[in-house]
Structures are given as structure tokens and as C-alpha cells.
Amino acid sequence: MKGKFSSKVLEAWFSPAVLLMSRLTYVSKFAVATALFAVPLILVVINETVEHFHKIELLERKLIAVQRLDDIQKVSRHIAVIRNNRARTLLHPEPSIDSDNDKHKTAVLEALDVLEGRPSIVRNNLIKLAISNLAMAVVSGRRNGGTEGDSIYSVFSGANDLVVQTHRLGMLIVSEAGLLNDDDVLSLNIASFLMTELQLPLESFGKIESFGAYFLEKGYLDSQSVLVFSSIFTQLDASYLVMSQNLSSIFERFKAANQTGVIDISLLEVISQLQGFSEDMIILDPDLEISDAEYRVECQRLLESMYKFQDQLIEYLQYRYQARINNLKIDQWQRALSIGVLVFGAMYLFMGIFYSVEHSLLQLISAAERVSSGDLDTKVEIKTRDELYQLARVFEDMRIQLKARDQALFDLAITDGLTGLFNRKYFNDCINIGLKNSSRSNSELTLVIIDIDFFKNLNDTYGHQIGDTCLIEMGKILTAVLARETDLAFRYGGEEFAVILPNMSSKECIGMVRKIWQAIRESEVIVGVEAISFTASLGVASSDLIGSYDVFSIIQAADKALYIAKDKGRDCYVVAGDINESLIENSK
């Protein structure tokens, strides 16, 4: 009694709200609840979201800068080849070297043109100007290494100015994106390593290759050159020591850096390998026995390891920034979710009512529209488990039944009732589609038309029922022989059958054609105690032999081949050439 009284009190208390809400749509009810409870807290969510978006945007700018830095490094490598080629032509200018220089110049200009068109560069006039200046410097660079009065050192230094200018362009891109001003110490250290410590060894590699090859070609080494090489080796020793210690220290401090397996510090050992190789071949060998070409090849091989190490640093830096972006995005969603729980906690029941009913109704309406428009493949599903779910189950059963009936009607429309093969109408559709697909994919298609030999005599001798049995047997034969799902068999009309073999040329189809022909010859139809066998003539036409993907042409060619097979005495197959000629495959 007390419970009923309490219920009536609650009903009376909430009757104004019930009356108001019953006059509103579900969208309006949700809007009222949101306005009353959620708006203030939503503002907090928006503020947090904007702050996170700003952090993500800054990191994405830095990630893009690393990607552009990768582009710059590729440009720098082309320019390094141009630089080394100029040193090569100091003693003996060669047209092949000029041609190689032109190829690398073209690659540099194309890469700079692509770089200038990047969205992150288009809006930055300062970087665009630096790219234009570098392109002009590459175009206006001297074609040959220098004059007889130029030394190898001055020629290399002059050509190396382009490499320095490329490095400055990279520094400009890195600085504009704030890559060298990062609160993540690991990213900052790797970026700094890329832009500062790694440049001197790369330049020293170029010097060792160019100077060494020059003196090998010249045939002797003077005292000044020994001092130059000694200075380069000293610089390389210092660089190797500093880089190894710094990277080992960084990776020891940040254990996560080793988890990717991307950076192989042991690649830096090529610095010592290059130094040892150059000392053995240049400094310690008074006869300079190795050829300059062999020397360059070995230097380039070792340089590739340095490039690989450089690529690994860039790749890891990209991975690092992408991981930080992903973490921020995850953190952003986690924050939004936690605040969202507080925001929508008070209106949780309202949202549940709104989404459970409104969403289910919309899905059912959408499903009804799909079914009415003929879409019977999309499953009818709703997330609720209430009365609307039961309605959806009934609707889904109706869709399945309609689809089954529709499929049965379709199968009936494309299937020959006697043989169970596809019918002539479906053949017309398939041959058109098959030839269009073959033409589009530049592949071949083969058509086989099969005619049972002396079928009229078979009917006249044994009766039409036995003739029908032979037709059924033919259907079974073709179904059993054709193993690929794409191979299709049809009843072409009367005692004629057709087979479409996609992706089969005139040479590739012979095995299948012989298999079909042999299976027909070996078949038997039992009439009482008597076993009746029959044969067939086959006309084969392939798109590669007739030189066309035209439907009329390939059918005409297959028909012509079939008539030739009949004229030859039947029980054989003939492969058609073009419309005027036929290549006969004697099957007997």
C-alpha cells in the first residue's frame, strides 16, 4: 500500500516533465538535457582538445620537416656525385662523366622542383628562395672539373660549396619546423647528430675518394698530399670517437631507442675501414698499384654504409615523431573520454533512451529503404535487445527469404534446365564482360565451342531421351574438367556447348582443350545393357591469335574452327588463327 502511494506521488511529481517531453522529438529531448547539464563541461573539453590539437600540429610539422630532410639528403647525395665527378675530370675530362653529371643534375632539379611543390614548402617564401638559389647554382655550375692550374683541393672545395648549400637548406627547413628546439631530448639529440656531427665524416668520405683517386690516376703522391690525408684521417678518428660515444650514451640513456632495431651503430665502423683502406692503398703503397676505378668502387661501397646509417637515423626520427603523435592522439582521446564520462554522466539515461530508440528506428528505416531499392545483401542489425530488436530479427528473416528467392530466380534465369550449365543468355553477358576485362588487363581469353558429333543420328537411333542423357553427361564432363572458378561452361544451343577460359592464351589453353576432348571421348552413357559413347568436335579461338577482343570476331573465329573440325572428320579440335586463317591442332 505504501509502495503504491509512493509510485503515485512520483508520477504526480514528474507528470509535468513527462507531459513536456512527450511533445518533443527525441532530438529535442536530447538537446534540452545537453543544454541543462553538459554545456559548461563541454567547454572544458573543447579547451583541452584545442590544446592537444596544437601540440599534435607542432609535432606533425616536425615530422614533415624530417620527411623533407630525407628529400634533402637524397639531393645532397646526387650533388656529392657531381662534386666527385668534377674532381675526376681534372686530369682527363671524359664525355661519359659529363653525361653522368647531367643525369645527376637532372635528378637534383627534379627533386628540388618536387620539394618546392610540397604543401609545407609552398607557403614558406624563405625556403622557396633557398631552393631556387640552389637550383640556379646547380644549373650554373661548371661542366668540367677545372683548368690545368687548379689543384684537386680547390676544385673539390669549389664543387663542395653546392653540398654545403644543400646542407644549409636542410638546416633552414629543420630550424623553421623547430626540430632543433624540442622538449624530447632523444629526438633533439638525433636531429642534432644528423645536422652537425654526421656532415663532416660524409665530406671527409668525399675527400678521401676524390683525392685518392686523383693521385692514383696521377701516379704519385707528394708530401703536401700526405699531410692532407693525415689531417683527414685525424678528423675522421675524432668524428668516429665522438659519434660512437655520443650515440652509445644516448641509447644507454634512452633504452627505448634500441627497441626499434632500426639504428645499427656498428655501421660507423666503416669510418675506420675507409681510413685503413686508404692508408693501405695510398699512403703505405709507394707503387700505387690499385687502379683509381677500383679505389672509387670500394670507397662508394663504404660510403653506402654511411648513407644507410644516415637513412636509419632519419627513419628512426620519423618513427619517433609518429609515435609521439600517436601517443598524443591516444592521450587526447583518453582525456576526452574521461572528461566525457563526467560531462555526460548526469544525462547517461537520457542518452541511452535517445540512442537506443532513435538509432534503432533510423537503422530499421534505412534497412527498409535498402530492401525497397533492391539491396538484399546488407544485414539488418541493431544494437539494442528490446522489442525493436525482435522487430529487426523478423525483418532480417524476411530479407534472407527475399534474397533466397531472388537468388533462385536469378539462378533459374541463367541456368539451362537440362544440363545444369549456364544458358545462352548468360553466355552473351559473360563473353562481353570477359573480353572487356581481358582488354583492360592486357590478358588473353579463349573461347571453345563444342558440338556433339552426329547428334541427330543419336536421337534418331536411340530416341530423344538418350539424346538428353548425352547432353546431361556433357554437362557433367565440362563441370568436372573445368577446375578454375573463373572457367565457365554454357549450353550454347541444342547439342552445342561453349567454354570461356579467361587468362588463357592460345598456347596455354591447349592442355585444357585436350583434356576436355579426351574426357568426352572416354565418356559413356548406359542404355539398358549397352554402353553408348559419343564424340565431339571443338572449335577454339583465342584473343591473341585473332588479334581482337571483339565479341563477334572471337565467336566467328571459334565457329569457323568448329566447321573445319567437322570437315576434317569430326572428333578433333581446331585452334583458329585470325579470321582468314586457322591453325589446326591435329588431335588424332
- What one-character-per-residue DSSP string does 437-491 give? HHHHHT--EEEEEEEETTHHHHHHHH-HHHHHHHHHHHHHHHHHH--STT-EEEE
C-alpha cell at 162: 653546392
At position 273, the amino acid (one-letter code) is Q
Choice among 119-133, 264-278, 383-397 with the minimum mean pLDDT: 383-397
Do 317 and 194 form a contact (C-beta atoms < 8 A)? yes
pLDDT for residue 39: 66
Q: Which fold has domain 352-414?
A: Helicase, Ruva Protein; domain 3 (1.10.8)
The whole-chain average pLDDT of the chain stands at 81
Per-residue CA distances from 139 to 132, 142, 333, 512 (Å)? 11, 9, 50, 61
Q: 574, 539 in Cβ contact below 8 A? A: yes
DSSP 422: B
What are 583's strand-pairing partners?
A: 575
Per-residue pLDDT tens over the stretch 100-116: 888 988 888 888 888 88
Query: If you average pLDDT over residues 563-585, what whole number do you get?
Result: 74
Residues whose CB is less than 8 angstroms from the CB of residue 533 and which lie 6 or more positions away in sequence, other chains included: 521, 523, 524, 525
143-147, 265-269, 411-415, 499-503: which range is least confident on average? 143-147
What was the pLDDT predicted at 580?
A: 37
Lowest mean pLDDT among 126-140, 283-297, 392-406: 392-406
557 pLDDT higher than 90: yes
pLDDT band, very low/low/confident/very high, at 33 (cuts 50, 70, 90): low
Q: Give the residue among 94, 223, 213, 206 at the shortest CA–CA distance from 156.
A: 206
Alpha carbon distance 206, 134 (integer Å): 20
Asked if the model's pLDDT at residue 432 lies above 50, the reply is yes
Q: Which CATH architecture has domain 424-583?
A: 2-Layer Sandwich (3.30)
* CB-neighbour burial class of residue 165 (10 A; exposed 0-12, middle 13-18, buried 19+): middle
Q: pLDDT digits over 317-335, tens only?
A: 888 888 888 888 888 777 7
Of residues 422 and 528, which shows the higher confidence score? Answer: 422
Q: Is 139 exposed, middle or buried (0-12, 13-18, 19+ CB in 10 A)?
A: exposed
Angle at 65 between CA 104 and CA 59, to 5 degrees: 160
The cell numbers describing 276, all together, are: 685503413
For residue 266, the 8-state DSSP code is: G
Which pLDDT score is estimated for 23? 63
- Residue range 419-433: average pLDDT? 92
Query: pTM (2 decimals)?
Result: 0.52
pLDDT of residue 578: 43
Confidence of residue 25 (pLDDT cuts 50, 70, 90): low
Going by pLDDT thresholds of 50, 70 and 90, the confidence category of residue 313 is confident
Task: Please check the confidence at residue 96 and state whether its pLDDT lies above 60.
Answer: yes
Predicted confidence at residue 97, as pLDDT, reads 81
pLDDT score for 209: 86
**Lowest-confidence pick of 16-20, 318-322, 508-512:** 16-20
Percent of the chain past pLDDT 70, that is, above it, reads 79
Find the mean pLDDT for residues 466-478.
91
Position with higher pLDDT, 399 vs 348: 399
Between 149 and 110, the more confident residue is: 110
Give yes or no for residue 478 having a pLDDT over 90.
yes
Q: Is the pLDDT of residue 573 over 90?
A: yes
What is the rounded distance in angstroms from the CA atom of residue 245 to the CA atom of residue 239? 10
d(CA 265, CA 305): 11
* Cβ proximity of 313 and 246 under 8 Å: no
Instruction: Kindly state the average pLDDT of the residues 289-295.
Output: 85
**Tell me, what's the pLDDT at 586?**
46
Residue of higher predicted confidence among 8 and 568? 568
Question: Tens digits of per-residue pLDDT, 181-225?
Answer: 888 888 888 888 888 888 888 888 888 888 888 888 887 777 888
Whether the predicted pLDDT of 355 surpasses 70: no
For residue 29, is pLDDT > 50? yes
The residue extents of the domains of the chain are: 1-37, 49-332, 352-414, 424-583
Q: How confident is the model at residue 343 (pLDDT cuts 50, 70, 90)?
A: low
424-583 and 352-414 share a CATH fold: no
Q: Is 425 helix (H, G, I), strand (E, B) or coil?
A: helix
Chain position carrying cell 632519419: 314
> Using 50, 70 and 90 to split pLDDT, how confident is the model at 49?
confident
* pLDDT given at position 20: 64
pLDDT at res. 482: 92
